[in-house]
Structure 1
Amino acid sequence: MNTGLKMRMLDKIKESLLEDISYKDISADAIIDEDRMARADLIAKEEGIVCGLEVFYQAFKILDEGAKFTCSHKDGDRVYKGDKIGIVECKAQAMLLAERTGLNFLQRMSGIASMTRYMVDALGDESVSLADTRKTAPGLRVFDKYSVEVGGGKNHRFNLSDMVMLKDNHIGVAGGIRQAVEKTRKKVSFSKKIEVEVESLDQVREALDVGCDIIMLDNMSIDQIRKAVDLIGGQALIEVSGNIGPDKIGDYRGLGIDIISCGALTHSVKALDISLKNMEII
């Protein structure tokens, strides 16, 4: 994880800790002296791709600068049920305060990375990029998109200023694809790519006529996609989107498309079961 990314995440980790610590942990405070140290094991309870280990560690380090995390895995590694991923050592009160926050991030991020890796493998086509969307949890986009990359996917737009994407509502308000693209070119820098969402072969032709960089085929059947690929003929990158889940993604192998964007990578993720166990005072 690079330094810039880590810095962007730290404030969010602190915010999440504050959700649990409005004043103090009355349970931990009642039974553990402030200066006592503790050790605990981070254990995988099911198979998957681990992701967010540095985020997990920072939750403890924010509360105890002397916290240590000895880890036998790195982000992107596959773990199996029963694997000891690492050992946390820090002040006992800090461990109990940070445990849930650290695990919440780690479990969600690992769930996203695991789903992404599963779908990349199920697609089985290295010529096609599996991309995320902006359908991320509010406030957690930096974590969600990092997790997709760890799982082997690609990041689509991080925010609305990254590139132009003209979807059905933009096109409807502008009066059509040509009008939308022409208005955009008058106001947006030449350095920004223009992507247009289309729902029919007639719209594919319109997008080609105005020279779009990327054409998104939205909710098209496999047969329609094949026809669109032939029609585009390499004149633009081809993105496919719309209700593409792990059970269907293999159907898109070998079609000649460039990108599959999939909201399911982040909007309905199942957390990977990971626990902090065997806590002991040292």
Structure 2
Amino acid sequence: MAELEGLLEPTALSELVRRWLKEDVPSFDFGGAVVGDGIETAVLYSKSKGILAGKPFFQAVFDELNCEVEWRTSASDGEALDGPFPIALADVKGPVRKILLGERLALNVLSRCSGIATRSSGLVNIAKQTGWKGIIAGTRKTTPGFRLVEKYGLLAGNADTHRMDLSSMVMLKDNHIASSGSIRKAVEKAKIVAGFSAKIEVECSSVEDAKEAVEAGADVVMLDNFKPKALQGAAQELRKWAGGHNFFIEASGGLSEASLADYCVSGVDILSLSIMQGAPVVDFSLKIPRKSA
């Protein structure tokens, strides 16, 4: 999936890396004083199975530190790391102080992003094995300051990012509806401010709520916390009732890797869950060859 690596806006990526470095080195780099500025080459190794994701972030860290990264493999983000391990993925060349300054930051991002891609890929594969044709999406339950990495990891694992942020799509949840007075009022207000270019999604706790949302003009109805059998019945009822209305049905709440297959029912277009929360990491290391005494 090489096209993913050109998806990130360079200026935004550089600004993100600078914030990370400022957080990690707010004043003195004491360890850097120990090793100095001699030129060294470190090797990036993958050490466990998973889906590779996060190469642009790894690259951007060392670009910011004026180190050269030469990738030994043509593996793109989204491809599987199957071993045998360790696999040498890249060489990082530059002043040793700069390599070690960026080491943990670059590895953390690569490990976390690859872990999210790995989990995403596993969930997508579970859904495919059932024969279901819908979309697996990751919710906005992301880590503050780390959303871009996590959403990128979803894409690398072939999942959908759902809405990137509050400006991407209008999602009217229970508190929006309670504050507005009704689903219809909430949707009408949303249409005024969002215009024609943004979809409107409404969280619904019943089929009746979903019908009200669709009649008000919602593009997506999210059936929240339905059990699988109830979800299938609700989706079938909505499809039969729909008439000329065109809308997506999403299900969320209660989904996990263990239960996902049960939710892959006909009539449902999207299954969304908090893929990023609790995702495992993929193990990487960066090693400078030890000098002989």
* Paired amino acid for 1:269: A
- Counterpart selection for 1:33 from 36, 50, 58: 36
Residue 125 of structure 2 corresponds to 121
C-alpha distance in structure 1 between counterparts of 2:196 and 2:258, whole Å? 39
- Structure 2 gap ranges (5+): none
Work out whether 1:110 is the aligned partner of 2:121.
no
- Counterpart selection for 1:82 from 77, 80, 86: 86
C-alpha distance in structure 1 between counterparts of 2:33 and 2:181, whole Å? 64
C-alpha distance in structure 2 between counterparts of 1:119 and 1:4, whole Å? 24
Please give the per-residue CA displacement for 1:134-191, whole angstroms capped at 9, x wherever unaligned. 1111011111111100110112111212222111111111112122222333443133
Q: CA deviation at 1:204?
A: 2.2
Residue 218 of structure 2 corresponds to 212
| Alignment CA distance shift 1:188-1:28 (3 Å) | closer
Residue 262 of structure 1 corresponds to 273
C-alpha distance in structure 2 between counterparts of 1:102 and 1:18, whole Å? 14
Q: CA deviation at 1:57?
A: 2.0
* Paired amino acid for 2:284: I
Superposed, which structure 2 residues align to 1:51-66 within 5 Å? 51-64=53-66, 66=67
Residue 188 of structure 1 corresponds to 194
Percent of paired sites with the same residue: 33
Residue 45 of structure 2 corresponds to 43
4+ residue runs over 6 A deviation: none
Work out whether 1:134 is the aligned partner of 2:140.
yes
* Paired amino acid for 1:270: P
RMSD, matched Cα:
1.9
Work out whether 1:151 is the aligned partner of 2:153.
no
Q: CA deviation at 1:39?
A: 1.5
Q: CA deviation at 1:21?
A: 2.2
Q: Secondary structure at the match of 1:111?
A: helix
C-alpha distance in structure 2 between counterparts of 1:206 and 1:258, whole Å? 19
- Structure 1 gap ranges (5+): none
Q: CA deviation at 1:78?
A: 0.9
- Counterpart selection for 1:179 from 149, 174, 185: 185
C-alpha distance in structure 2 between counterparts of 1:276 and 1:4, whole Å? 24
Please give the per-residue CA displacement for 1:19-64, whole angstroms capped at 9, x wherever unaligned. 232334222322x332x11112211121000111121122122112
C-alpha distance in structure 2 between counterparts of 1:158 and 1:276, whole Å? 31
C-alpha distance in structure 1 between counterparts of 2:198 and 2:96, whole Å? 51
C-alpha distance in structure 1 between counterparts of 2:159 and 2:11, whole Å? 23
Q: Secondary structure at the match of 2:36?
A: coil
Q: Secondary structure at the match of 2:166?
A: coil
Q: CA deviation at 1:86?
A: 1.9
Q: Secondary structure at the match of 1:279?
A: coil
Q: CA deviation at 1:215?
A: 0.6
Conservation of the 8 A alpha-carbon contact between 1:240 and 1:260? yes
Conservation of the 8 A alpha-carbon contact between 2:132 and 2:264? no
* Paired amino acid for 1:276: L
* Paired amino acid for 1:76: G
Conservation of the 8 A alpha-carbon contact between 2:232 and 2:265? no
Residue 72 of structure 2 corresponds to 71
Between 1 and 2, higher relative CO (CA 8 Å, sep ≥ 6) is seen in: 1
